[in-house]
Amino acid sequence: MNMRQSLTAVIERNTTLTGEFTTEPYEAAWAGEARWFVRVLDAAGRRPRLVARTQISPDGLHWCDLDETDQSISPADGPVHSWPATGFGGWLRLRGTVVDEAADPAPDESARLKVLIYLALKA
Amino acid sequence: MTTTPHVDPRLLDPKLAKFNPLRRILVHDDFNDGTHGWVELIGNHDEHGDLDTVDEHMSDFRPPQLSSCSFFDVGTHGAMSGTYALKVATRPVAGHTGVAIRRLTMSGRGRVQFETYLAYKAEAASAENGAATAAGGGRWDANNHPSEQQFGAFTVATDICDGVRYHTVARYLNTDLDHQVRHQWVYPTVPEPTPREHFEGKVKLPRTADFTAPNPEDWKPFGEPQEMCFNEVPTKVNWHYLRWVIDTSTRKNVELQLNDVVHDMSDVPVPPYDEHYGSLQNLLNFYVSVRTHTDVRNFLYLDSVLISVDW
C-alpha cells in the first residue's frame, strides 16, 4: 500500500492577532487536500471575532482570495475552528481581520485573539 | 572500452552516488517523499503546555516547507533531484531566524558526517514585500543582483550530549549586519543559550536574538572567504555540495567541504556547557538555520541530506 503523505504545519503559534493581518506564505503544491485549524487560546474585547479568507498565489508574492467565503471565528463558538481549502494550486495563506462586534468599544478594549493556526496537508 | 565498477555498490544508486558516505548511512532524506523528521525547532514549554513559557527567541522558527522552488518569472524550478526540496524560510523581519532540526541519538562514538545539496535565496521583490527598497538592496548592474546582499547567513549545527553537552556549528556569513558582503565561514566561541539558563534567570533574549550565539562579537572566522554561486538573481537555483565532518569520540570538528574547497576545522573550538543536562544521553541533533539581516524573507533549500557515521 502506498501511504499518503501528510504534513501539519503550525503557521502561527501563540500569536496575538489584532486588526488586519496576513499569515506567512506556505508552499503546498504537493498536497491534494488542505484544511485550516484555528485554536483560540485567549481573547480580549467585548465581542471579538476573527473574519478570515483563504488566499492563494502562483508565486508566493502575489495573492488573491480562493473564493468569496468568509470564515467567522468567534471564541463564543468554542476553542477550535476548521475549514477546508480545495483547488488551491501552489501556495496558501490566510488574510483576516479581528473585529469587535460590540458597538462603540472603549479605546482600551481593542479586540484581539491569541491563536494557534495549523495547516493540515495531505497528498 | 571497459570501465571499472565503483567499489561501493551503494553508490551505484543515483540517489546516493552524489554523496560520499562514511561506513554506515544513518539517514538519507529525499524530500520528494516527505520531510523525513525535519521539523521546526522550538524552545521548551511547561507542564501545562503553556506556550507563554517558551523562550521568546525560540518560539517562532517557522515550519519547514516541501518546496517546488517556484518563482514568479519561471514557475516551478524544481529541486536537484525530483520536484521537491526542503525549504526553511524566515519572516521578513531583520534578525528573524528559521530553523529546522533532525533528532537522532548515538549508538556509538566516532566520525559523523552531514552531507547535503543546498541553495540559498532572498525573496524576489514585489510591491507587497517592498524588497527592492529594503536595507541591503541597491542597483542592479545586470550581473550582480542586489537581492544577494539581502541574504544574511545560513548555519549547519549539532546538539550533542554524551554526558557533556556541546554544539558544533558552522555558519556561512553571506553579509554582515550592515549588509556588507563577507562570504566568510564563522563559528561561535560560546555555547548556545538554553531554555534552562533562562529558567534559572541567567539569560532572557529578545524575539529576534541570534539564538546560536546572540553577541556578534562571539562569532569568529575560519578558513578563507568563499564565493558561492548565488547566480545573479533571486529566482535561479544552483545546488551546492556541503560535507561536514565532526568526531564525537573527541568532541571536535574535523572539516567542512563546500563544493571544491575543504576547510580544515580541526582547530575550530567546540565550547561545551559547564553544567550537566539530564534527559539527553546520546543526543545527536542536527539543525539548519537561515537568518535574515533585513526586512526580506531569506530561504535555505535542501535538495536532500545524507548523514553517515564510522561506527
Domain count, chain A: 1
Pairing status of strand A6-17 against strand A112-122: antiparallel
If you ran DSSP here, which 8-state letter would residue B101 be given? Answer: E
Judged against a pLDDT cut of 70, whether residue B94 lies above it is answered with yes
Smallest Cβ distance to B66: which of A7, A41, A116?
A: A7
DSSP-based three-state secondary structure for A77: helix
What is the distance between the alpha carbons of residues B51 and B35, in angstroms, rounded to a whole number? 24
Residue with cell 545573479: B232
Residue B195 φ then ψ, to 5°: -55, -35
Q: Give the closest residue to B156 by CA, choosing from B121, B123, B176, B185.
A: B185
- What type of residue sits at position B148? E
pLDDT in tens, B240-265: 999 999 999 999 999 999 999 999 99
Going along chain B from its start, the domains and CATH numbers come out as: 20-31+38-309 (2.60.120)
- Closest approach of chain A CAs to the CA of B72, in angstroms? 5
**Could you tell me which residues come within 8 angstroms of residue B254 by beta carbon, excluding any fewer than 6 positions away?**
B111, B245, B246, B247, B265, B266
A112, part of any domain: no
Judged against a pLDDT cut of 80, whether residue B125 lies above it is answered with yes
Q: What is the 3-state composition of chain B as percent helix, strand, coil, each rounded to the nearest 5?
A: 10, 35, 55
**Pairwise CB contact (< 8 Å): B70 & A90:** yes
A80 CB within 8 Å of a chain B CB: no
A117, part of any domain: no
Greatest Cα pair distance, chain A, in angstroms, is 59
**Pairwise CB contact (< 8 Å): B51 & A29:** no
Residue B70 vs residue B139, higher pLDDT: B70
Q: Give the closest residue to B30 by CA, choosing from B41, B45, B19.
A: B19
What is the distance between the alpha carbons of residues A109 and B63, in angstroms, rounded to a whole number? 32
Q: How far apart are the first and last CA of chain B?
A: 38
pLDDT at A109: 59
Residue B287 to residues A16, B179, B235, B236, B284, Cα–Cα distance (Å): 28, 24, 25, 25, 10
**Pairwise CB contact (< 8 Å): B40 & A14:** no
> Grid coordinates standing for A24?
506567512
- What type of residue sits at position B307? I
Residue A1 pLDDT class (50, 70, 90 cuts): low
pLDDT at B235: 97
pLDDT at A103: 58
Report the pLDDT averaged over residues A70-98: 97
Q: Give the closest residue to B123 by CA, choosing from B92, B93, B80.
A: B92
- Closest approach of chain B CAs to the CA of A58, in angstroms? 7
Residue A107 φ then ψ, to 5°: -60, -30
Pairing status of strand B39-40 against strand B97-105: antiparallel
What is the distance between the alpha carbons of residues B253 and B268, in angstroms, rounded to a whole number? 6
Residue B197 pLDDT class (50, 70, 90 cuts): confident
Q: Are B268 and B254 in contact (CB under 8 A)?
A: no
Q: Which residues from B are below 8 Å from A11, CB to CB?
A: 63
Residue with cell 550592515: B178
Domain of residue A79 covers 18-107
pLDDT in tens, B41-83: 999 999 999 999 999 999 999 999 999 999 999 999 999 999 9
Q: Which residues from A are below 8 Å from B71, CB to CB?
A: 59
Residue with cell 468569496: A68
pLDDT at A104: 64
Comparing A73-82, B82-91, B199-208, B282-291, the range with the smallest average pLDDT is B199-208
What is the distance between the alpha carbons of residues B311 and B309, in angstroms, rounded to a whole number? 6
What is the distance between the alpha carbons of residues A71 and A77, in angstroms, rounded to a whole number? 13
Judged against a pLDDT cut of 90, whether residue A2 lies above it is answered with no
A31, part of any domain: yes
A10, part of any domain: no
ipTM of the prediction: 0.95
**Could you tell me which residues come within 8 angstroms of residue B138 by beta carbon, excluding any fewer than 6 positions away?**
B146, B149
Judged against a pLDDT cut of 60, whether residue A106 lies above it is answered with no
Report the pLDDT averaged over residues B97-106: 98
> Grid coordinates standing for B248?
564525537
A121, part of any domain: no
Judged against a pLDDT cut of 70, whether residue A80 lies above it is answered with yes
What is the distance between the alpha carbons of residues B199 and B22, in angstroms, rounded to a whole number? 39
Residue B147 φ then ψ, to 5°: -55, -35
Residue B103 φ then ψ, to 5°: -110, 120
pLDDT at B7: 74
A1, part of any domain: no
Q: Which residues from B are below 8 Å from A9, CB to CB?
A: 63, 65
- Closest approach of chain A CAs to the CA of B30, in angstroms? 13
Chain B segment 62-81 residues within 8 A of A by beta carbon are 62-63, 65-68, 70-72, 75-76
* Residue of chain A nearest B131, judged by CA positions: A61
What is the distance between the alpha carbons of residues B274 and B124, in angstroms, rounded to a whole number? 44
